[in-house]
Amino acid sequence: MISGLLPELEVIRKDFPILERTLAGGLPLVYLDSANTSQKPQVVIDTMVDHLERHNANIARAMHQLGAEATEAFETARDKVAAFIGAPERDEVIFTKNASEGLNLVANTLSFPGEHQLGPGDEVVITEMEHHSNIVPWQLVTQRTGATLRWFGVTDEGRLDLDRIDELINERTKVVSLTWVSNMLGTINPIAEIARKAHAVGAIVVVDASQAAPQLPIDLAAMPVEERPDLLVFTGHKVVGPTGIGVLWGSRAVLDTLPPFLGGGEMIETVRMEGSTFAGIPHKFEAGTPPIAEAVGLGAAVEYLGHIGLDAIHTHERAITGYALQGLATVPGLTVLGPLDPAERGGAISFELDGVHPHDVAQVLDSRGVAVRAGHHCAKPAHARFGVQSSTRMSSYLYTTPDEIDALVEALNYTRSYFKLG
Amino acid sequence: MISGLLPELEVIRKDFPILERTLAGGLPLVYLDSANTSQKPQVVIDTMVDHLERHNANIARAMHQLGAEATEAFETARDKVAAFIGAPERDEVIFTKNASEGLNLVANTLSFPGEHQLGPGDEVVITEMEHHSNIVPWQLVTQRTGATLRWFGVTDEGRLDLDRIDELINERTKVVSLTWVSNMLGTINPIAEIARKAHAVGAIVVVDASQAAPQLPIDLAAMPVEERPDLLVFTGHKVVGPTGIGVLWGSRAVLDTLPPFLGGGEMIETVRMEGSTFAGIPHKFEAGTPPIAEAVGLGAAVEYLGHIGLDAIHTHERAITGYALQGLATVPGLTVLGPLDPAERGGAISFELDGVHPHDVAQVLDSRGVAVRAGHHCAKPAHARFGVQSSTRMSSYLYTTPDEIDALVEALNYTRSYFKLG
Amino acid sequence: MSAAQDLDALYQEIILDHYKNPHGKGLREPAAAQRSADVHHVNPTCGDEITLRVHVEGEPGSERVADVSYDAVGCSISQASASVLHELLVGKTIDEAMNVHGEFLALMQGKGTVEPDEEVLEDGIAFAGVAKFPARVKCALLSWMAWKDATVQARG
Amino acid sequence: MSAAQDLDALYQEIILDHYKNPHGKGLREPAAAQRSADVHHVNPTCGDEITLRVHVEGEPGSERVADVSYDAVGCSISQASASVLHELLVGKTIDEAMNVHGEFLALMQGKGTVEPDEEVLEDGIAFAGVAKFPARVKCALLSWMAWKDATVQARG
Ligand SMILES: Cc1ncc(COP(=O)(O)O)c(C=O)c1O
Ligand SMILES: Cc1ncc(COP(=O)(O)O)c(C=O)c1O
C-alpha cells in the first residue's frame, strides 16, 4: 500500500466527468497530462452554467439586478482566489487571461516610464528552467529597453545552480523572475532564499507559480516579507479551473507604482480626449470586460481544492510521484530528467526512452489510452541544457491513481516491444 | 404590426434560458442591456459544457486523443469566426481575451520597433465617439512614442464631423482607428469612405466592430481592398458568445509586419536563452494557453447567429430600434442622444430624462424588471461632447420584442411620476 | 420585500428632499483663520463627480469642521448624501465628525444588516435602504470619501 | 478501426525501415555546376528540426533535383518522411518533383480520405495512415515544406 494517497480518491474521481470517458477502441482514459492542463470537476462546470443561464450580465457598469448578481459573483471569486493564496489584501488579486499575460503585464509595465523603468545597465535575472512564458517577455523587454538579461544555470541533477548567485544577483539587478516549480524537471526552487537575496539588492521578485499553485499550499501573508515575492502569477486551467483566466497577485506597494498595461473599460478614473487618469488596483490592470464566467468558475475551482486541502493534495502528489519514479525506474533504457527524490519535486516527470523519439512514445501510449505530453513542453532551453530536443512527460494530479501509473509503465514496456527494443 | 421582426421570435427567445428568469418580486426580466453584454443561447452553453466534460485538453501541444479533439474544436472555431466576418484567410483570425486586448495589441505593436513604429511627427486619428478601449490605448502609446493623437469631432446630430477630414487625415497620419457603430450614440460610421481616405495617405485602418459584429453582416473579403480595414476587432460576449474571448482580424500583409505583443507559449518558433524567433500568424499573437473552451463557445455563437442570418438580425434590430424611437418620443422630457433615423444607427439608444438622473432612471426601471445601463458607457468624451456626465441607454438584440419596448416606455412614464415630474 | 418596497426604502422622502434642496452646495472661500483643502473625486463607473472643500478651524487636537463646501454632479443618492454630510458634520470637532463618518461607512457597507443609530446619523439613517443596492453604495459614499480625504489633507 | 490497428497503419514497416536506415541523410557540398540553397525549419510545437539543402542543376526551365541533403532531429515520422522525400525527388525534374510534392501534401491533409497513388508516391503511400493523426501531419510535412522553400530559393 502506498501511503499519502487522498483517502477518498474514488469519490474525487467521480467529481470529474471526463474521467468516465472512453477513448478509441473503448479504452479507459488514463490522463497523465495535468501539468499541461487539469481536468474540471462538475462543480466548476455547473457554477459556470448557472452563471451563464441565470446571472449573466456585464459587471461594475450595470446597475440592474443581473448586473449586481454578476458583479457580486465576480468579486466573490476574487475573495476566493485571495484566500487560496493567502493574499494580504483581496484587491491585490488581478484577473488576467492566463499566466502568460500576467508575466507579460509585469515585464511590459516595468519597461514603461515609471519608478521601476528598466534601462541600459539594469539587469533582469531569470533561469534556464523557465517556461517560455517567463523567458520571451523578458527577452522582448530587455531588447526594447537596453537592459541585460541574465540567468541561473541548471545542474546535472536538474536543480538551479546557485553557485554564482552572489555574482548574478547584484546591485544592478532590478528584477528576478523565476518559476517556483519547473514544468519540465519538476524541480521545486528555493524561492524564499532567492527572494531574500534579491530583496537585499532592492530587486523586484516575480514568481511563476503556474505549477506550484495546483500542488503546493501557498500562504503569502504568512511569508516573512523579505522572502515573499512581490508579484506572483498562476493560471486557472491548471488548478481545475476554466481556460481564459489567470491570476496576477502583487503587493499593493509594487502594483501602485506600476503604470497601466492595457487601456480601456473599467481601468480608468476619468477619460478626456486630451488624457486620462486611472483607477486603483485591481481595476487598473483589468482593461475591458474581464473573463467573468471564467472568474466565477475559477472561484469554484480554488474553493474545491481548498475543501480537499492543499496539504492533502500535496501529499497525494508526492505519493504518486514517488510511486511513478519507482515504476519508471523499472523500464529499461528510461532516464528521468530532473531530481529523483519525490520530496524535492513536483508531479511532472519528464523522461527519455532510449531508441524511441518522445512523439513515438506518446503515440503508442495514446493507443493504450495513456495521455502524456511529448515535445519541449515550452521549455526549450531546459531541454537544450540536457542536450535533448524533446522529452516525454507524465504529470499527475489529485485524481491520479497508482493503477494509472501501472498502466503507464505497462504501456512504456509495450512501446519498447513495439519498436523492437528487445 | 411592426414589419421586419424576426419571424420566429418566440422560438428564438426559448433558446435563451435566462429570458425565463424572474427577478425580485417575481417580475419577468426585460433585458435591454445587450450592447453591454448579450445573453447566451443554450447551444453555446451546451457546447462549452460538452467540451469541458468530454474533450478538455490543452491544444497544439498535446498529441493524445483528447488533445487532438480539443485542437480540432479550437481550430474549427477559428474557421467559423473567419466565415462569420468573411475573412480572406482563416489564419488572419486571432483570438484575444476581448475587444480591448485586440485594440491594445494593435496600439502596442505599432509602438514597438518595426516597419510601422510610431514616432514624433506621426499622427494617430481616432474619434470623439470612441469607447474608452479605443481611446486610452492610443493615448498611452502616443505618449510613449511622441506621436500625436488627433480626433474627429461629433456633430450635434451625433454623426462624425467629416468637414475637416482632409486636414485630419494627411501625409503624417499613420493610423486611423474608429468604431463602426457607436456604443453610446448608435451612429453607424462611414468606415468605407474613411478607410479609402486613410489608405490614400498610406495609413493603417483599425475598425472597432464591437457593436457592429452583433448586428451588421460583415464580409471582409467582399469589400474593395481600399475600403477594407487593415485590422478589425470585436468581442465574444456581445455576439451571444462567452466572456474571456475576443477577435482580432488583420490582413496577413499587416499582421506579418507587426512584431509580437505577448511572449510565451505557442507564439514561438524557437527559443534559446540568447534570443527567440517567432511563429507565423495566427499563433504569433496568441501567447500562452488561449481561451479554449471560450473559443469553442464563440464558434457555436457565431454559427448560431449565422443560422438565423445577420441580414435578418439587422432588419429585426432596425425594426425594434424604430419602434423604440417612436415609443421614447412619447415620454415627456426625454431627449435621445444620437441619430433619430433607425436606418442610420445601431440598436443602442442613449437618452436623457429631464429632472431625473440616469442612475435613478435605471434604478426605477430595474424595480419594474427593465434592465438598462446608466452611466457614461465607457464613452466619457462622447458624453462631454453633449454636455452631459452620463445617460440612460437601452439596447436591444435579436431576442428583443416590441412588448419589451412597451414595458420600457411604461416604466419610464412611471419613473417620471415616481419622481413627481407631473 | 417586493421590488417596489425596496425602491421606496431607497428613495426615502428625506433623500428626495435633500436632492431637491441640497444643503451647503457651492464652493466657498474659507475665512481668514481657517485652513482648507480641496479634493476632486469621481465614481469611475458612472461618472459622478464631486469637488469638495473642507474648512477647518481651531487648535491642532481640537479642530472643528468650519464648513464643507462642494460642487457636484450626480444622481439623487450622491447629491442627497453630500447634503446630509454637510448638515451632519459642519460644526462638529473633527474627532466627532470622523466618528459619524465611521458610522455612516459601517451602515453603507453593512449590506442591509446594520441598524443605524439615529442619535448619531440623524437624516443619514434614510440611507439605510441604499445599503441593499451594492451598485448605489458607491454613490452614497462619494462625498464621504472625498470629505475624509480632504480633511486629512487640511489637517496637514 | 481499433486504436491498435490505427497504430499499425501509422507505423508501417516501410516507415520504421526508413527511420532506422534513412536515405540521403547528412549535409553534402553541391558539385561545381549546381546551384543550392539551405533552409532551416522547425516544428514549433515539438521542437523537431531540419536543415535541408537542395542541389539543383540544369538549364532554367528544365532544372533537375541533383540532390537533397539534410540534417534532422525528430520522431520516426519526420525522419522517415525526409528519407522518402530523398528517394522520391532526387533525379526528377523540378516540375515532376513539385507534382509529387503536391500529391504528398494532398494525402497528408486529406484526413484519411485521400487514396494515395502508388505510381507517384511509391514508399510515400506508407504515410497514408499518418493523415488520420492531425498532430503527426506536421511531422510528416516538415521536410517537404523545407524542400519546397529551399527549391524556390535555389531556383532564384
Ligand atoms: C464600441 C466598443 N468598443 C470596445 C468595447 C470593449 O469590449 P470589451 O469590454 O469586451 O473589451 C465595447 C464594449 O464594451 C464597445 O461597445
Ligand atoms: C511553469 C509555467 N509557466 C507558465 C505557463 C503558462 O501558462 P498559460 O499557458 O496558462 O499562460 C505554464 C503552463 O503552460 C507553466 O507550466
**What pLDDT was estimated at residue D44?**
83
Share of chain A above pLDDT 70, in %: 100
Judging contacts by C-beta atoms under 8 Å, the chain B residues touching residue D133 are 68
One CATH from 3.90.75.20, 3.40.640.10, 3.10.20.880, 3.40.190.150 for A46-306: 3.40.640.10
Chain C residues with CB within 8 Å of chain B CB: 2-4, 6-7, 10-11, 16, 45-49, 73-77, 79, 133, 136, 139
Helix (H), strand (E) at residue D17: helix D13-20
- Encode pLDDT of B302-359 as tens digits: 999 999 999 999 999 999 999 999 999 999 999 999 999 999 999 999 999 999 999 9
The reply to whether residue B68 touches residue D134, judged by beta carbons under 8 angstroms, is yes
In a mutational test of the pocket of ligand 1, which residue from B98, B183, B350 has the highest number of ligand atoms less than 8 Å from its CB? B183
Distance from CA of C139 to the nearest CA of B (A): 9
Q: Cis before residue A17, ω within 30 degrees of 0? A: no
Q: Are strands A123-127 and A173-179 parallel, antiparallel or unpaired?
A: parallel
- Going by DSSP bridges, is the β-strand pair B373-375/A370-371 parallel, antiparallel, or unpaired? unpaired
Distance, in angstroms, between B58 CA and closest chain D CA? 12
Q: What is the mean pLDDT of residues A108-114?
A: 97
B215: confidence class by pLDDT, cuts 50, 70, 90: very high
Cβ-in-10-Å burial (0-12, 13-18, 19+) of B19 comes to middle
Local structure of D90: helix, strand or coil: coil
Measured from the Cβ of residue C67, the count of other Cβ atoms closer than 10 Å reads 22
CA atoms within a 13 Å half-sphere pointing along the CA-CB vector of B73: 27
Q: Which chains touch A (3 or more CB pairs under 8 A)?
A: B, C, D
pLDDT of residue B294: 98
Q: What does the pLDDT read at residue D32?
A: 87
Q: Do A268 and C133 touch (CB under 8 A)?
A: no
> Pairing mode, if any, of strands A173-179 and B391-395?
unpaired
C-alpha distances (whole Å) from C109 to each of A74, A279, C97, C104, C116 are 18, 20, 18, 9, 12
Query: Do the Cβ atoms of D46 and A374 come within 8 Å?
Result: yes
Q: Which fold has domain A9-37+309-418?
A: Aspartate Aminotransferase, domain 1 (3.90.1150)
**Which segments in chain C show pLDDT lower than 50?**
none
Q: Which ligand is nearest to the CA of B288?
A: 2
B310: number of Cβ within 10 Å: 19
- pLDDT > 90? residue B191: yes
The Cα–Cα gap between B182 and B189 comes to 8
Are D and C close enough to touch, i.e. 3+ CB pairs under 8 angstroms? no
User: Do the beta carbons of residue C63 and residue C155 sit within 8 Å?
Assistant: yes
CB-side neighbour CA atoms (13 Å) of A311: 1
SS (H, E, C) chain C: CCHHHHHHHHCCHHHHHHHHCCCCEECCCCCCCCEEEEEEEECCCCCCEEEEEEEEECCCCCCEEEEEEEEEECCHHHHHHHHHHHHHHCCCEHHHHHHHHHHHHHHHCCCCCCCCCHHHHHHHHHHHHHHHCHHHHHHHHHHHHHHHHHHHHHHC
What cell does A84 get?
487560496
Q: Does the Cβ of A127 fall within 6 Å of ligand 2?
A: no
Q: Residue A348: CB within 6 Å of ligand 2?
A: no
Give the pLDDT band (50/70/90) at residue A61. low
**Which residues, listed in sequence order, are joined to residue A125 by a DSSP beta bridge?**
A150, A176
Average pLDDT of the segment spanning A87-108 = 98
- pLDDT score of C1: 54
Cell numbers given for C33: 483663520
Mutate to test the pocket of ligand 1, among B128, B189, B235, B373 (most ligand atoms within 8 A of CB): B235
d(CA B267, CA B16): 36
- Neighbours of D, requiring at least 3 CB pairs below 8 Å, are A, B
Report the residue count for chain A.
422
Q: Report the range out of B129-143, B408-422, C105-119 with the highest average pLDDT.
A: B129-143
pLDDT at residue B187 tops 80: yes
- Residue C112: its pLDDT value, please? 85
CB B31 within 8 A of CB B19: yes
Query: Which residues of B carry out catalysis?
Result: 378
- Contacting residues for C14 by C-beta, under 8 A, at least 6 apart: C80, C123, C126
Q: Which ligand is nearest to the CA of A132?
A: 2
pLDDT of residue B175: 98
**Is C144 within 8 Å of C81 (Cβ atoms)?**
yes
Name the helix (H) or strand (E) containing D81.
Answer: helix D76-89
CB distance A187 to A181 below 8 Å: yes
List the single residue in D with minimal CA-CA distance to A414.
D4
Query: Which pLDDT score, from 0 to 100, does residue C3 have?
Result: 77
- Distance (Å) from the alpha carbon of B340 to chain C's nearest alpha carbon: 25
Q: Give B-chain residues touching A245 at CB under 8 angstroms.
A: 244
Lowest mean pLDDT among A211-215, A335-339, C135-139, D22-26: C135-139
Query: Do the chains contact at D44 and B279, CB–CB below 8 Å?
Result: yes
Residue D18 belongs to what H/E stretch?
helix D13-20
What is the band of A5 on the pLDDT scale with cuts at 50, 70, 90?
very high
Amino acid C107 reads L
Cell numbers 481601468 correspond to what residue?
A267
> Any idea which residue has 493523415 for its cell?
D131
Are the Cβ atoms of B357 and C76 closer than 8 angstroms? yes
Where do the domains of chain C lie?
3-155
Neighbours of chain B (3+ CB pairs under 8 A): A, C, D
- Closest residue by Cα to atom 14, ligand 1, is B36
Q: What is the pLDDT of residues B36-88, one digit of tens each?
A: 999 999 999 999 999 999 999 999 766 899 999 999 999 999 999 999 999 99
B369 contacts on C by Cβ (under 8 Å):
3
This prediction has a pTM of 0.96
Pick among D75, D133, D136, D142 to test the A interface (most A CBs inside 10 A): D75
Angle between helices A358-367 and D76-89 (to 10 degrees): 110
| D38 dihedral zone (left: phi>0; alpha: psi -120 to 50; beta) | beta
Residues of C in contact with A266 (CB under 8 A): 44-45
Ligand 2 center from residue A100 Cα (angstroms): 6
Which of C42, C46, C134 faces A71 most closely, judged by CB atoms? C134
pLDDT greater than 60 at residue A225: yes
Tell me, which fold does domain C3-155 have in CATH?
Sufe protein. Chain: A (3.90.1010)
For residue A289, which atom of ligand 1 is closest to its CA? Answer: 9
SS in 3 state form for chain A?
Answer: CCCCCCCCHHHHHHCCHHHHCECHHHCECEECECCCCCCCCHHHHHHHHHHHHHHCCCCCCCCCHHHHHHHHHHHHHHHHHHHHHCCCCHHHEEEECCHHHHHHHHHHHCCCCCCCCCCCCCEEEEECCCCHHHCHHHHHHHHHHCCEEEEECECCCCCECCCCHHHHCCCCEEEEEEECECCCCCEECCHHHHHHHHHHCCCEEEEECCCCCCCCCCCHHHCCCCCCCCEEEEEHHHCCCCCCCEEEEECHHHHHHCCCCCCCHHHEEEEECCEEEECCCCHHHCCCCCCHHHHHHHHHHHHHHHHHCHHHHHHHHHHHHHHHHHHHHCCCCEEEECCCCHHHECCEEEEEECCECHHHHHHHHHHCCEECEEECCCCHHHHHHCCCCCEEEEECCCCCCHHHHHHHHHHHHHHHHHCCCC
ipTM of the complex as predicted:
0.95
- With a Cβ cut-off of 6 Å, ligand 1 is lined by A 265, 288-289; B 98-100, 131, 133-134, 179, 183, 208, 210-211, 235, 237, 246, 378
Interface contact A357-D11, CB threshold 8 A: no
CA dist A218 and B138 (Å) reads 38
Q: pLDDT by residue (tens digit) across B275-289?
A: 999 999 999 999 999
> Confidence band (pLDDT; 50, 70, 90) for D143?
very high
Q: Is A179 in the pocket of ligand 2 (CB under 6 A)?
A: yes
> What are the Cα distances from residue B168, in Å, to A216, B123, B342?
57, 9, 29
- Beta-bridge partner residues of A94: A248
Confidence (pLDDT) at C6: 84
Q: For ligand 2, atom 16, name the residue with the nearest CA.
A: A183
Q: What's the confidence (pLDDT) of residue B394?
A: 98
Confidence label for D134 from pLDDT (cuts 50, 70 and 90): confident
